[in-house]
Chain A
Amino acid sequence: MPIANHHSSVPVIVDEDKCIADKGCTVCIDVCPLDVLWINEETGKAHMKYDECWYCMPCEADCPTDAVTVNIPYLLR
C-alpha cells in the first residue's frame, strides 16, 4: 500500500535566534518524554519533528536560553 505524508501544525515552537542547539545544546531534545524534538538538519537548531506532544513542558522549562514555547495542540485548543 502506498503511503502519503500529511501536514500538521505542531504545538512546540523553537525560536531559532535563541536556540543554541547548533553549539551542541540538546537539553530540550533530551528531556522530551516522547522523543519528538530533533535537530533540524538544515538549520542545526531544535525543532518538533513529530506531532506527538503531551504539552507537558520540560522542553520549555529546562531550555537554558528560553527558546522553546509549548502551545496547546490545535485539536485541544
Chain B
Amino acid sequence: MKINDIPVIDTDVLVIGGGTAGPMAAVTAKEQDPNLRVILLEKANVKRSGAISMGMDGLNNAVVPGHATPEQYVKEITIANDGIVHQPALMAYATRSFPMIEKLDSWGVHFQKDETGDYDMKKVHHLGTYVLPMPEGHNVKKILYRRLRRNRVEIENRYTATRLLKDPDGNIAGMIGVNTRTAEPIIIRAKAVIMATGAAGRIGLPTSGYLFGTYENPANNGDGHAMAYHAGADLANLECFQVNPLLKDYNGPACAYVTGPLGGFTANAYGERFIECDYWSGQMMLEFFKELESGTGPVFLKLDHLAEETIQEIETVLHTNERPTRGRFHEGRDVNYRERMVEMHISEIGFCSGHSASGVWTDETGATTVPGLYCAGDMASVAHNYMLGAFVYGQICGESAVAFAKSRSEPQLDEGFIINELERIQAPMKRADGIPPEQMEYKVRRLVNDYLQPPKVTKKMEIGLERILAVREDLPQLCARDPHELLRAMEVQSIIDCAEMAARASLYRTESRWGLYHYRVDYPDQDDSEWFYHSRLFKDENGQMAHGKRPVADYLVSLGEEKDAYRKMRVQKAANE
C-alpha cells in the first residue's frame, strides 16, 4: 500500500521511543512471540537516547523482600501523592518490582550488594526503605541495546512520530512521522502501539535561559503527550507539575538519593537541615521553595562535613553516572564539595510521572483510553514511577500490546487524515521566511515560566493561557531551513500543546494539592469534598480541550495512622531554641 507515493510499513507492534521503557516493551513483545514483527522507532539513536543515556546511579523505588512489601510501597506513594493515585497500577508495579530487578541483574545490570550478597537497600523516603544504589549503573543502555539485537527488534533511528493513526472504529492503527535528517515522511500501520516518549520536559525555561539546559533530556519535549491528546486519549492530573530540586544553573540532580544515605543533606544558608526527608514530593518541594524565598535562603547541598573517603565515593558516583558533566561544572566555578556547600534551585516545570503523577491516563495493564494504545515510563500517569517503573510498565505494555495485536486483523487507515498530516509536516520547509522554531519556542517557554510556574495565581494563568494561544496563532508563519530545523518546528508544536494543557489543567482544579506542584495562592486549601478525583483533560467531539473528573479507584491498601506523614516535612525547632 502507498499513500502519496509513500510506502506504508506494516507491523504487529510499534513502540515509539527507545529510551528506557520502550526497549523493554519491544524486547518483551518479542519474548512473548518471536514471530511477531516489532518496530522500535526513536527520534535519536537507541544506543544513547532518553533519560538514562549515560546510565543511572540508583533505583529510587525498589520493593525488595525483607526490606519492604508491595502494600507498604503502595501506601507510601499514595500518602506522598496526597491520595490521588490509581492504586491498582501502583500495586501492579510494586509486585513486579523485584522480579524486574532480578531480570535486569541477570542481564548484567549491576546493583549494589552488601557483604552477604544481598541488595544493599537505603532509606530515603519518609517511611520505608526503597533506594538501591547502582554505582556501576553507567552501562544500562548498552545492556538494553544488546537485548534489542538479540531479540531481533527492528530499529528505526532518527524518526520522530508526529501523529497517531486510528481506524474507523476508534482503535489505534499506527503512526505517521518524519526523518529528522532527510525530512522524509514515514507511515507505519500497526495493530498495537506502545508510546514511551518520556516526560514533557521542555515546556518551561531553565533559569540559565539556555533552551537545552533542561532537567529532562530536552529530546523529551512532550511529543507523546501531544500525540495522545490529538488521538483522543485522556490525560490525567497534568496540573500536578514536576518541579525538582537541582544544582543551580547546571540544572541536574544533586542526587539526595546518592548523597543522603552517605550523610549529605539539603540545607539552608546557615547549613541547617530544614526538611526531614529529601525524597522528592510536592510537600518537600513546597518547604524547599519557602526556604529558597526566605531570609535563611537560598538552599544548598551540604557535604562539607563529610569524611574525605565519603566525599570521594560521592564524587565517583556523581561524576561518572547519569549526568557526568556535574564534576566539570563544579570545577569551572572552583566549587569543591569538601570546602563549601553547593547552591541549589528549583527546576522549570514539566509533566513527568517518574517524579510526580501527571501524564497520559494509564491503567494497571498499561492501557490508555484509546483501544490498542499503551503507555509506559515518564509519560504515563502511574505516580512516582522512576526508572524501574519504566521497565516494569514497558514489560506490562509489551504483554498487553501483543495480546491486543493478536486479537485483530490489519487496521484500516484514514487516507484523508494522513494526507492532511503530511501537509502539516511539510509546511515549515515550504516557507522561505517567517518565524524560526527557536524564537517561537523561547517565547512560549518564557510565557510558561512567567505565568504558570507555581505558586499559581488564577488571573496570571488566564493571561498566560491567552498569550500561549496567541503564539499558536503564529504557527502559519513557522519556518524551517533544513530537516533539523523541521524537527524543532514539529517539536515546538508539541510544546505549545503542552503549555496550553498545563494552563488549562491548572485552572480546572480549584484547590491546592501536591505541595508546590499545584499550589494555588487564591485556593490555598486542599478540598477533598470537591477534588478527591483524578482530573481529566481530553479533546472533545468539537476538537476543543475539555475537562472532567475520574473517580479514584477503591484503595487496595488503606492509609491508616500514617496518612498525614508527608504533611509534616519541616524540621521542628526545639522549644528552647
Contacts and interface: CB of A to CB of B under 8 A. Distances in A.
B209 A75 contact: yes
Given A35-B44, A52-B212, A56-B217, A61 B54 contact: yes
Nearest to B438: A52
B434 interface: yes
A76 B324 contact: no
Output the residue of A2, A3, A35, A62 with the most chain B CB within 10 A. A35
Given A30-B45, A35-B181, A75 B484 contact: no
Contact of B218 (A34, A61, A62, A72): A34
B218 A52 contact: yes
A58 B158 CA distance: 16
Interface in A24-49: 30-35, 49
A57 B327 CA distance: 12
Interface string B472-498: 000001010000100110000000000
Contact of A58 (B54, B208, B250, B323): B54
B65 interface: no
Nearest to B206: A76
A3 B436 contact: yes
B244 to A, nearest CB: 16
A30 B214 CA distance: 21
Chain B contact residues, majority secondary structure: loop
Output the residue of B53, B158, B436 with the most chain A CB within 10 A. B53
In this complex, the interface size class of chain B, counting residues with CB under 8 Å from chain A, is 35 or more
A50 B54 contact: no
Given A53-B212, A72-B250, A76-B210, A34 B219 contact: yes
A14 B181 CA distance: 21
A35 B484 contact: yes
Contact of A73 (B47, B180, B213, B217): B213
Given A35-B44, A54-B212, A1 B332 contact: no
A32 B210 contact: no
Contacts of A70: 325, 328
Contacts of A73: 208, 210, 212-213
In this complex, the interface size class of chain A, counting residues with CB under 8 Å from chain B, is 20 to 34
B435 interface: yes
Nearest to A4: B436
A57 B219 CA distance: 15
Nearest to A2: B433
Interface in B236-291: 249-251
Chain A contact residues, majority secondary structure: loop
B320 to A, nearest CB: 10
Nearest to B19: A33
A77 interface: yes
B329 A76 contact: yes
Given A34-B218, A72-B329, A56 B210 contact: no
B53 A75 contact: no
B49 interface: yes
Contact of A33 (B49, B433, B484): B49
Contacts of B471: none
Nearest to B331: A72
Nearest to A35: B180
B211 interface: yes
B48 interface: yes
B174 interface: no
Contacts of B222: none
Contacts of A77: 329, 332-333
A31 B54 contact: no
Contact of B477 (A1, A2, A56, A61): A1
B118 to A, nearest CB: 31
A71 interface: yes
Given A1-B434, A31-B47, A76-B208, A55 B325 contact: yes
A2 B479 CA distance: 11
Interface string B306-334: 00000000000000000111001100110
B50 interface: yes
Nearest to A55: B325
Contacts of A71: 328
Those 9 A-B pairs whose CB atoms lie nearest each other, nearest first: A58-B48, A31-B48, A33-B44, A75-B210, A55-B325, A52-B212, A76-B208, A76-B249, A33-B219
Given A72-B325, A75-B213, 11 more contacts: A3-B479, A30-B47, A32-B48, A33-B49, A33-B53, A33-B217, A54-B213, A54-B217, A72-B250, A72-B332, A76-B250
15 contacts: A1-B433, A1-B435, A30-B45, A30-B47, A31-B53, A33-B50, A33-B219, A52-B488, A56-B323, A57-B54, A57-B325, A61-B54, A61-B324, A73-B208, A77-B332
Interface of B: 44-45, 47-50, 53-54, 157-158, 180-181, 208-214, 217-219, 249-251, 323-325, 328-329, 332-333, 433-436, 477, 479, 484, 487-488
